[in-house]
Structure 1
Amino acid sequence: MSEASTARKLQLDGVHNIRDLGGLLRDDRRTTRRGRAYRACGMDGLSAAGEAALLRTGVDHVIDLRSPAEVAAIPGPFHTHPGRREVSLFEGLAPLAQCLRQAPQAGLANRYILALKQAPAQFARVFRLIAQPGDRPVLFHCTAGKDRTGLIAALLLALNQVEYEQIVQDYAATATLGADLLARLRARALLRGDEPALVEQALRSDAATMAQVLTWIDSHHGSVAGYLSATGLDADSLDRLARML
């Protein structure tokens, strides 16, 4: 994990793995703008002081990528916020454990690629929502802030010409920056009786996983912009997204 990843993490009381997508190196050697987009976990441990600090960043546009069942179980601090929108990004996909059992060598990369292929409408909706705020900062999150959030972050960064090495390292940073949260999720899963080997695989965030996903997008769609165009995302939204950071 780079020092840059640590520097982008928001130090908020009671929560882990919320970070700014600013400060990452682009292909033109400039860096992405800070304070425009934040990636986050479920934030269920966020204290009142932490929530106030997060709101002081100017975030008032929140996209919740979790399933309805996850939201019902742990609503989170933004559940009643007027700027919150829900998009169940992995809606309709086979359960994660089933996916991992069927293709153990492919692991999470296979899961992400299946999501890109099977849920294009959800991806299009998320990026339409991200493109809407104008100058308002946006925050998107799931439960761990790793898989669904990691995919959306990777695509948004790629649209903004961030170097692929930077993108995959941002994905991998969750293993360290979100270690405490991942430990809690591991304990919950094991208590439910989930298979230990599958739990460990599900909680990984190896750089090679996101590198494989980006390679698949480029080989099948030419670029992230090509993929999102294929989902039906309009050119105006793509242009705004490409200039966002």
Structure 2
Amino acid sequence: MASSEKELAALKEGKGLITCYDTSRDNMPYSLLETTLNTRDLGGYRIDGTDRLTKYGRVIRSDVANYPSEKDIKFLKDNGITTIIDMRNSEEKERKPHGLANLEGFDYHDIPIEEGSGIPESVEAVPDSYYKIAHSENLAKVFKTIASAKTNVMFNCSAGKDRSGVTSALLLWLCGVRKSDIVYDYMRTKLNNEERFKMIHENFPDIDMNIVIPNENNMYRFFELIEESHGTVQALFEAIGIDAELQAKIVAKMCK
């Protein structure tokens, strides 16, 4: 059974799936939606030191769904994934409107994050750009929306790589998922977005693709920057206005 089929089966049945984090052929690129490249579930990651996993179907990360198919819409509704958080800026949204923004049955939230919407000036600047995303005023609004959502949530930026990658990393870290497993989740974008990266290189040959393509060192350095300035991920959440009560709601949303 292909990786995507296993994930979908686990989602339907409420079972755990990921027990080994590797990049074997059984973990080939997949997207939960047929019209996107990088829609993935944050469920199935082990909470360090326990036998519990983050729950499937609760919080989904994605690139933007500009033209969702009827099958995509049905999948999202059938699984109660109807709170949609769009983190793209106004220019990105004007250029390519979100396909779920005005659809009946979806609760669409326009929460733009300017940080991370452009390409950093160098490879070394990527972790700093992630740090800026983590401290964005509107990222706190994203977390508050997730905490208060009455349905399951899908959040997106444009490619599901940087803004979505930082958001995913912080959510998983807050839940107690190991850093190596968070990096594994981050690096899956490298496989999923291979087609997108090729197009960027063809259209913008002067761009250093080492800046654009995910590198595990970027995420590890991001962790270091957070710990150097805040000590713990919980302290970061506190610093951006997500208190212990809201943190507990987020963890409950993803883990209970």
Which bracket does the TM-score occupy, shorter chain normalised?
0.7 to 0.9
Pick which of 168-177 and 235-244 moved more. 235-244
Q: Deviation of residue 51 (structure 1)?
A: 2.8
State the identity %. Answer: 25
Equivalent of 1:17, from 31, 38, 49? 38
Which position in structure 2 is the counterpart of 1:71? Answer: 93
Q: Deviation of residue 230 (structure 1)?
A: 0.7
Which position in structure 1 is the counterpart of 2:247? Answer: 238
Q: Quick one: distance in 1 between partners of 2:234 and 2:28?
A: 28
Which position in structure 1 is the counterpart of 2:178? Answer: 163
1:220/1:42 Cα in 2 relative to 1: closer, same or farther (>3 Å)?
Answer: same
Q: Quick one: distance in 2 between partners of 1:105 and 1:6?
A: 27
Q: Does 1:207 align with 2:236?
A: no
Q: Which runs of 5+ in 2 are unaligned?
A: 1-21
Q: Quick one: distance in 1 between partners of 2:160 and 2:118?
A: 16
Q: Deviation of residue 27 (structure 1)?
A: 0.7
Q: Quick one: distance in 2 between partners of 1:234 and 1:4?
A: 41
SS of the aligned residue for 1:60 comes to strand
Equivalent of 2:155, from 134, 140, 143? 140
SS of the aligned residue for 1:144 comes to coil
RMSD: 2.4
SS of the aligned residue for 1:106 comes to helix
Q: Deviation of residue 185 (structure 1)?
A: 4.2
Deviations 1:174-196 (A, max 9, x none): 01022223334444x52xxx733
1:19–1:40 Cα contact (<8 Å) kept: yes
Q: Quick one: distance in 1 between partners of 2:40 and 2:28?
A: 9
Counterparts of 1:68-217 in structure 2, within 5 Å, are 68-81=90-103, 82-90=106-114, 96-97=118-119, 99-100=120-121, 104-117=122-135, 119=136, 121-134=137-150, 136-187=151-202, 189-190=203-204, 195-197=206-208, 200-217=209-226
Deviations 1:46-82 (A, max 9, x none): 3332332233221110100000111111112112145
Q: Deviation of residue 201 (structure 1)?
A: 3.2
The letter of the residue matching 1:143 is S
Q: Deviation of residue 8 (structure 1)?
A: 9.5
Pick 1 or 2: higher relative contact order, CA cutoff 8 A, min separation 6. 1
1:28/1:142 Cα in 2 relative to 1: closer, same or farther (>3 Å)?
Answer: same
1:9/1:244 Cα in 2 relative to 1: closer, same or farther (>3 Å)?
Answer: farther
Q: Quick one: distance in 2 between partners of 1:58 and 1:234?
A: 27
Which position in structure 1 is the counterpart of 2:17? Answer: none
1:44–1:74 Cα contact (<8 Å) kept: yes
Aligned residues: 230
1:128/1:3 Cα in 2 relative to 1: closer, same or farther (>3 Å)?
Answer: farther
